[in-house]
Amino acid sequence: MRSPHDPATALESLHAPVSVGPATTGPTPTRALRERVVGTTAIALAASVAIQNAVVIWAGAPGYGDPIKEVLAFHAEHRVAVAVAVGLEALNLPLLLGFLTGLHGLVERRGRAGADWSRLAVAAGATLSAVFALYAVLWNGVVLSAGEVAEPSPEFELAWQMHAAAFALALPALGTTLIGAALAAHASRLTPPWQRLLAVAGGSLLLAAGAANLAIADGSELLFVGMPGYAAWLVWLLATGIRLVRARTADRPDDASSSAEQG
């Protein structure tokens, strides 16, 4: 029987394998909470945008190519509907920025795969927020002017055209946001491949439509080229939000867990 102080025993103890705790492959509670918060924000944004568009469609809002007299009549009679739509726009801005910065944080914590794409999405989202703010301000100007004139004035028509131009310019910013966010989420294994394909296709349509922003401001139907992309943005947001809220997938290695496995 060897003594505990025997040199051979001491040498063997130095080479004994070090026991490590069981590796955790699933999401940690803190990380899962972050994913659920980001997912809830995405779902809230999709719901807010959908309600906003439903209100405008229900009220029978005119298109940018409709006669200016119809535009004036609509805004004189449907001030409440416009107020609801503009009010929801004020809610959309923090939801959008909160979702994009939250997504960037998730990407950073998952090994930075897709970090460049998520930074692009945040920058494009900030631009989109600024353009939509201008869009909402101009829409306020249109509806306020409509209550003061009996016939369309040049100033009223100009405000309406600038409102249309702001929406047209928002399309490429939205397309860039969608593509960047989708590629970042896919690179970090937060979303399946079909969502990446949906986002790239939809984002490309938004970019193409935005290139014709002058024509859209003049009432061109080229606006409808971007509408499938706009719908793709809502579908992608909803699908991503649901996936993040249900974040329990075991194939998402946490940074700390990976380090523990390396010993």
Residue-by-residue DSSP string for 213-260 = HHHHHTT-GGGGGSHHHHHHHHHHHHHHHHHHHT---TT---HHHHHH
Phi (first) and psi of residue 220, to 5 degrees? -70, 145
pLDDT top residue among 5 and 176:
176
Q: What is the pLDDT of residues 203-213, one digit of tens each?
A: 999 999 999 99
pTM: 0.82
What is the end-to-end Cα distance of the chain in Å, rounded? 33
Which residue shows structure tokens 């910065």?
Answer: 101
CA distance 91 to 50: 13
CA distance 41 to 58: 25
| DSSP category for residue 210 | H
Task: Give me the pLDDT at residue 53, please.
Answer: 95
Task: Give me the pLDDT at residue 150, please.
Answer: 80
Q: Identify which of 75, 80, 101 has the alpha carbon closest to the alpha carbon of residue 177.
A: 101
CA distance 158 to 261: 64
Task: Give me the pLDDT at residue 257, please.
Answer: 38
CA distance 202 to 229: 4
CA distance 148 to 136: 19
Q: What is the pLDDT of residues 51-72, one digit of tens each?
A: 999 999 999 999 999 999 999 9
Out of 2-11, 31-40, 97-106, pick the least confident. 2-11
CA distance 102 to 183: 15
Neighbours of 141 (CB within 10 A): 17
Alpha helices in 60-153 (DSSP H): 68-77, 79-109, 115-146
CA distance 248 to 237: 19
Rg from Cα positions in the chain = 26
Task: Report the pLDDT averaged over residues 107-133.
Answer: 93
Task: Report the pLDDT averaged over residues 133-161.
Answer: 90
